[in-house]
Amino acid sequence: MKAKTWMWVIGVVVVLGVLFVYPRLGGNRSGSIGSGVPCLVPNVPLTQHIHPVLTITVDGVREEIPANIGLAECERAVHTHDDASQGIVHVESQDRRVYVLGDFMSVWNKSLVREGRTLTATADGVQVEDPATLILKDGQDIRLEYNTTNN
């Protein structure tokens, strides 16, 4: 092949790489659902795989955490599977980044704040002041308890 043809081939490969690979490596930077939590890249090994357990109650009634959070457009590094009723959050990432509860809530597109309710958050029985920044750890028991405020 001539040099000019090789340059075209290399240019096309670079453009395709940018269009298809880069968004998966960097996550969604647009500010939409799951912003900042990357999609997993196929055939790249995981560097961490942990399972904290999240329980949410509202006025004493357990709230279901849906299955397949973070699996719609791609498989996010923080997600749930079919057994989500048990509250298992999967952190299966290809980086060494520290993931926090706020990352999971972002992927789920839910706020930790619920109007008209107070939140008590604990991790392994210890109260957490800012649950959004709670670092997710394997086997961790995270509880979010929402109660109606009396006006």
* pLDDT tens, residue by residue, 67-123: 999 998 899 999 998 765 679 999 999 999 999 999 999 999 999 999 999 999 999
* Closest C-alpha to 98, from 122, 134, 54, 69: 134
Contact 27, 69 (CB under 8 A): no
Total tally of structural domains belonging to the chain: 1
Structure token digits, residue 80: 């749930």
- State which residues form the domain around 131: 5-148
Is the full-model pTM beyond 0.85? no
**Residue 110: per-residue pLDDT:** 94
